[in-house]
């Protein structure tokens, strides 16, 4: 599993999984209590995605968040 190092990757992963599941933005948004427009913004620019929204989206999309120690020889990501 490749680590996520930028917010853009999060949006891409969410959109990709949603499409893989053949779900519309409106369907996913309704399940997590967001508007379709807000989900569209979050997929395109997830810098304002909060933890509650992220966890709800991961749950609906069948994804999980794993947190572990970063290899200290890799440079830090710039957000």
**Is 1 within a domain?**
no
Is residue 68, in this structure, part of any structural domain at all?
no
60 and 32 Cβ atoms separated by less than 8 Å: yes
- Residue 75 clears pLDDT 80, i.e. is over it: no
Q: Could you give the count of Cα atoms lying within 13 Å of 76 in the half-sphere of its Cβ?
A: 2
pLDDT band at 15 (very low <50, low <70, confident <90, very high): very high
- Higher-pLDDT residue of 53, 68: 53
Residue 33 lies in a domain: yes
Whether pLDDT at 69 is above 70: yes
Is 49 inside a domain boundary? yes
Range of the domain at 31: 7-61
Q: Please count the structural domains in the chain.
A: 1
Q: Is residue 55 part of a domain?
A: yes
- Residue 76 CA, chain-centre distance (Å), reads 20
Domain of residue 24, CATH code: 1.10.260.40
Joined tokens for residue 69: 């120690």
- Kindly report, residue by residue over 16-64, the tens digit of the pLDDT: 999 999 999 999 999 999 999 999 999 999 999 999 999 999 999 999 9
Residue 53 lies in a domain: yes
């Amino acid at each position: 599993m490749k680590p996520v190092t930028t917010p853009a990757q999060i949006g891409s992963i969410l959109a990709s999984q949603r499409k893989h599941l053949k779900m519309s933005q409106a369907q996913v948004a309704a399940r997590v209590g967001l508007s379709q427009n807000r989900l569209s913004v979050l997929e395109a620019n997830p810098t304002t995605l909060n933890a509650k929204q992220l966890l709800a989206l991961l749950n609906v999309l069948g994804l999980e968040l794993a947190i572990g120690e970063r290899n200290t020889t890799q440079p830090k990501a710039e957000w």
